[in-house]
């Protein structure tokens, strides 16, 4: 089992610091000038209905986009430094586009969320795919296309516990100790089933199936990811509900929202690149060591 370099281990530590403690809510609090604890409160019933409707539509849009058009993006290769530069460059371009959508949505307040969120989600998915490609992922593979969608489930706090099927362990670190690995492994079986369903079908066939809603494997993935994505969307909605947010702050919130998922994508696909190079067990061991070290460090 190849041991990671000091540079690789530093990247893993960066991933642990963010993926186990996402900072999206703090960013949103900075934008609207409200402490995070004041944003964490139950949404009114009307707000909950808006979020549910917006997330459902966004997942439908994202699923169709992931499985019918991401493969059209050209593949990229490069050195480690070139990869890092490319991911930040691509992320910034899509963040600007998402900010524009947020600016427009800010004029309509919460009522505009079902219209704005699908657009923002599509922009974010394009950005996630570009980052995945920069890290060497093959966007022609349905499993990778679905993995891009999975990133939307990795950027928030853990909801109720989910079932995780653990395979043979070769290290002392259990993935269930990590919110990131728990979510990733909890979705793995559903993602494999969905990828197997898509394999061999044309983009037109997949699009028609999605339009009819007749693919249980794809619907299950959309439901599982949507449940976790909805947590972050709820926080976004709470921030937008602050009086006098307006179009300007709506743009800033969308920029922060997109940059958050860009960061999650960069760290996730960076870890996946290390797994391809060194093996999953080596990366998981380094992740567990960094996680344990972080838990020992003073707050």
pTM of the full structure: 0.82
Tell me the two tokens of residue 140.
């022609």
Please report the sign of the dihedral spanned by the C-alpha atoms of residue 222, residue 122, residue 117, residue 91.
positive
Q: What is the pLDDT of residue 168?
A: 47
Q: Where are the alpha helices (DSSP H) in 73-141?
A: 80-106, 113-134
Residue 35: strand, helix, or coil = coil
Instruction: Note whether 126 and 141 are within 8 A (CB).
Output: no
DSSP secondary structure letter of residue 42: P
Crossing angle of the two packed helices 246-278 and 24-32, in degrees rounded to 10 = 160
Q: What are 34-59's pLDDT values in tens digits?
A: 665 666 665 666 677 788 888 998 99
Tell me the two tokens of residue 242.
């602050």
Q: CA end-to-end span of the chain, whole Å? A: 33
Tell me the two tokens of residue 170.
């070769």
Instruction: Note whether 256 and 29 are within 8 A (CB).
Output: no
Q: What is the pLDDT of residue 152?
A: 93
Buried b (16+ CB within 10 A) or exposed e, 208-217: ebbeeeebee
Q: What are 146-159's pLDDT values in tens digits?
A: 999 999 999 766 55
Q: What is the pLDDT of residue 51?
A: 84
Nearest Cα residue to 105 out of 255, 280, 278, 207: 255
User: In the chain, what's the furthest Cα-to-Cα distance?
Assistant: 55
Residue-wise pLDDT tens for the chain (299 aa)? 567 889 999 999 999 999 998 887 777 777 666 665 666 665 666 677 788 888 998 998 889 888 887 765 545 555 555 666 666 555 555 565 555 555 445 555 666 777 788 888 888 888 898 889 888 888 889 999 999 999 999 976 655 444 444 454 444 566 667 889 989 988 999 999 999 999 888 888 888 888 888 889 999 999 999 989 988 888 887 777 665 556 567 777 878 888 899 999 999 999 999 999 999 989 999 999 999 887 665 54
- Each domain of the chain, given as residue ranges in start order, spans 6-33+43-163+172-296
CA distances from 37 to 42, 227, 237, 299 (A): 12, 22, 15, 18
Cα–chain center distance at 209: 24
Alpha carbons 61 and 114: distance in angstroms, whole number: 12
Alpha carbons 248 and 208: distance in angstroms, whole number: 38
Tell me the two tokens of residue 258.
């997109």
């Amino acid at each position: 089992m190849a041991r990671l370099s000091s540079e690789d281990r530093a990247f893993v530590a960066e991933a642990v610091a963010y993926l186990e403690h996402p900072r999206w809510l703090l960013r949103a609090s900075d934008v609207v000038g409200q402490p995070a604890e004041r944003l964490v409160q139950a949404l009114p019933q009307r707000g909950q209905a808006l979020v549910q409707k917006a997330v459902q539509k966004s997942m439908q849009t994202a699923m169709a986009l992931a499985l019918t058009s991401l493969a059209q993006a050209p593949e990229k290769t490069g050195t480690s430094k070139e990869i890092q530069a490319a991911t930040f460059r691509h992320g910034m371009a899509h963040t600007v586009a998402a900010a524009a959508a947020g600016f427009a949505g800010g004029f309509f307040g919460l009522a505009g969320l079902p219209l704005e969120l699908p657009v923002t989600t599509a922009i974010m998915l394009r950005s996630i795919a570009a980052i995945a490609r920069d890290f060497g992922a093959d966007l022609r593979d349905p499993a990778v296309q679905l993995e891009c969608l999975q990133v939307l489930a990795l950027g928030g706090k853990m909801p109720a516990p989910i079932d995780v099927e653990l395979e043979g362990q070769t290290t002392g670190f259990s993935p269930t100790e990590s919110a990131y690995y728990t979510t990733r492994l909890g979705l793995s079986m559903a993602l494999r089933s969905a990828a197997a369903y898509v394999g061999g079908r044309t983009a037109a066939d997949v699009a028609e199936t999605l339009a009819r809603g007749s693919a249980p494997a794809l619907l299950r993935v959309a439901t599982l990811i949507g449940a976790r994505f909805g947590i972050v969307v709820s926080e976004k909605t709470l921030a937008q509900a602050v009086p006098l947010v307006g179009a300007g702050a709506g743009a800033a919130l969308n920029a922060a929202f997109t940059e958050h998922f860009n960061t999650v994508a960069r760290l996730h696909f960076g870890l996946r690149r290390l797994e391809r190079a060194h093996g999953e067990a080596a990366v998981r061991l380094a992740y567990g060591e960094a996680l344990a070290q972080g838990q020992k460090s003073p707050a």
